Structure 1
Amino acid sequence: MKLETIDFRAPDAPQRFVESLRHTGFGVLRNHPIAQPLVQQIYQAWQDFFLSDDKEHYLFNPGTQDGFFPSSVSETAKGNNVKDIKEYFHVYPWGQIPPALRRDILEYYQQATAFAAQLLDWVERHSPAEVARHYHEPLSRMIKDSDKTLLRILHYPPMDGHEPPGAIRAAAHEDINLLTVLPAANEPGLQVQSRDGSWLDVPSDFGNIIINTGDMLQEASGGYFPSTTHRVINPQGADMAKSRISLPLFLHPRPEVVLSARYSAGSYLTERLRELGVI
């Protein structure tokens, strides 16, 4: 298993990207249309936010899941019994957002969502006919007017060596949604599990954008596109003193979208959030 970086502008980029999703669950793109200065600006502004007391004024709403989630309520990955070492903020256009951070983060939300819709078109166009027949509607239409697509700003704080035994920044897990769009973080650490069980570093050159398939696309494609296990490992040595900011966009369909004979998008999301213990 090998993860190669694909030039978004190359004529064969759509086919190579979809092949990468099929074989690894991940695709890494360079020369993409997401504005890199905007990403850098967001990283710096939100790192300052997480290091301030302002975050406590935006505690999450349990019913709507928007706002700041402190480390005390951080997720525990399915099958684990130790919380991840992280805190995060859930951004929805309709939800609470610090006013000083609102303009840039919503601009990024719009850019990344439009970009993801294009990638879903690539996936559908290059799905074999026997796979595409499973789609109950065009993939990019599944997200049209959805208010469930989630932008999560993650802060992995510096480590002091006294973390709970077995705890890492993000334990091995799969994503719930259709696709996840992730600009390369400001520090490395993301790994994907290969079919033989070994762990591979995901290319994290600053400026790359990383896309992975989620459980909903796996379900909608009848298992053709795998939802691959991944994690964020703890830094070592001097890097332990560094924070890590990450900016995943989790692309969610409208709740009524039919994924398969077993699930709608809404029923699938509810089931998984209960497993994670966040509802």
Structure 2
Amino acid sequence: MMPREGATPETLEAFRHKLGFDRPLMVQFFDFVAHALVGDFGDSIRFKTPALPLVLERLPATLQLAGLAMVMGIVVAIPLGLVAGSRPGSLWDGLARSLGLFGQSVPNFVLGMVLIVVIGVWLKLLPVAGRFDLEGNVDLKRMIMPAFVLGLPTMGALVRLTRSAVLEIRGEDYIRTAHSKGLHPRLVYVRHILRNAAIPIVSVLGVWFGYMLGGSVYVETVFGYPGMGMILAEAVGNRDFTLVQALAFFICLVVVVLNLITDLAYAIIDPRIRYQS
């Protein structure tokens, strides 16, 4: 428990000693690293239990939400960007540019509150909070709105990136050569345009998934979704330092692993890049 305002110097000193704040900074750092490597982040100040199990308990919920948001972004943005890039100036192109602008300009917590009022309260189409139904099972309907809000910036970025990549690739010499050889337009599109457009898309997916993990703090708080973002906001508000450290460590670890996977996928897709053994 954090000492209350007006606590005695003895109480403050005992609290500092318990957390190790009375030791040199470098000693604190290496001690934290040594314990973190074995999964020991200390006890949560608020919950009085080890911080690691609290993080692992919320981790699947956040990964499910971010995964659903990423799927929404890919399913909506990439096909729309491909069509918009192949038909510049069309209605689809205007829709893609509008989605790109809207997705990257509207704050997710503002959009979340609007969706709660309109879709959840007025229209009563979807539940507005939580993760489980009355029987204690994971309810996919409760994840639709927060996943959409969390994935909207990714939709905006992906649709603009896909559209720009297709427009650039369509003007390359090898595309004109493929058409001049009489290849079917669909074959040219799939074999040459689509594959080359996937290179910049894949390279940015890992970065945007990490962005979702950071943005989940606002989205999960607005929708009352019990994931890592919500407990991180609570830990910061309660000054639960050990829990904040554990959550930050795991978020960084997930981002590093995703970036590694992205680099490997990038090397597989682009034959010009091969990592030498």
Same fold (TM over 0.5): no
Q: Which has the higher helix share?
A: 2
Q: Which has the larger radius of gyration?
A: 2
Q: Which has the higher strand share?
A: 1
TM-score, with length taken from structure 1: 0.29
TM-score, with length taken from structure 2: 0.29
